[in-house]
Copies of this chain bind each other. A is one copy, B any other.
């Protein structure tokens, strides 16, 4: 493991010297290698699927899905390169010329579970942003990831970059996670964990290097008293049901008391028609009798399933208090025609993404226009929300003078 760290550090050094075009070419070649090695990747994936007992659909690849993986990688090759950008430039009265220049972070350690496409996406995004990557796959997806890793290595070498730019830890040993969280002797600059609560807890306890956390999305859609009824219904159904397994899926519906009698029954009917189970507080169950009972745990549940918690609230202050207490700071939406209420909500709710009259399912790097993402950061520092290539960079100051000394 320590050797992987020093190899990654050397690869990061090589990447800092590689041009945008070299890195783009490498990403394109990797896409080609994924296509060329489809048979062996799918065979490895079949092994993983045969052993899997849960989340099998997340894990499974077929020809169409693998083509989508390769196409997504290719798209990242076409994204604008973030490196070298002058983020700001200014001159001081003493003539010193200051530039803030975008540079790679260095070596990124990523820990993830179940979805083998993450290996390809993360590799491409890290190459786009000039970072070396050490990937630790969960046991479920390990064979698939190692097969994709062979395509990545072959692609890197074909493009003239060190294969060590992307290394996949070849074991599902839990000690490997500990070593990565310890920073591999100071060689890892950033840890990106993507996984369930047990991983999150372990990262919090053991990480000795900065972490860009991707915690759960307990997302709310709040239907305000001044909501347009048809829009509210459409947004709620989409926010919950378009894809229930994404972190931007709404998990709790809050609805104002003033309009709940008129609006909750049709919204509940539309949700039920789309296959969603509802669990509500007493007030919502009084309005729609076939809503089930919500326990306290439902307000903090990330269902990732066709289940929605429902609560009637007394107004915007109560809605914001509910979100402050139970939310995860990921994504929250208000539906209203009242601009003042909307601006209050987006100003006061302290989440990474606030939406007014739109579905929480837009919490996605592609929808933001970032071209790609490796997740949605829920921490407060460095990057919040979708993490694309630009979010995996940092900066340095370059100060150009002509002999200035400080008085």
Contacts and interface: CB of A to CB of B under 8 A. Distances in A.
A277 to B, nearest CB: 21
A354 interface: yes
A352 B238 contact: no
Given A208-B204, A380-B189, A399 B369 contact: no
Interface in A354-381: 354-359, 361-362, 364, 367-369, 379-381
A368 B94 CA distance: 11
Given A359-B405, A359-B406, A381-B190, A369 B98 contact: yes
Interface stretch (A50-58, A67-75, A144-152, A343-351): A343-351
A144 to B, nearest CB: 28
A377 to B, nearest CB: 11
Please classify the interface of chain A as helix (H, G, I), strand (E, B), loop, or mixed, using the class held by over half of its residues. mixed
Number of copies: 2
B367 A402 contact: no
A16 B234 contact: no
Interface residues of A, number: 61
Contact of A228 (B355, B380, B403): B403
A92 interface: yes
A395 interface: yes
B98 A396 contact: no
A106 B399 contact: no
A318 interface: no
Contacts of A396: 350-354, 384-385
A245 to B, nearest CB: 14
A215 to B, nearest CB: 12
A273 interface: no
A291 to B, nearest CB: 23
A275 interface: no
Shortest 9 CB-CB distances between A and B: which pairs?
A358-B401, A238-B405, A361-B406, A382-B382, A231-B403, A358-B404, A381-B382, A357-B401, A346-B398
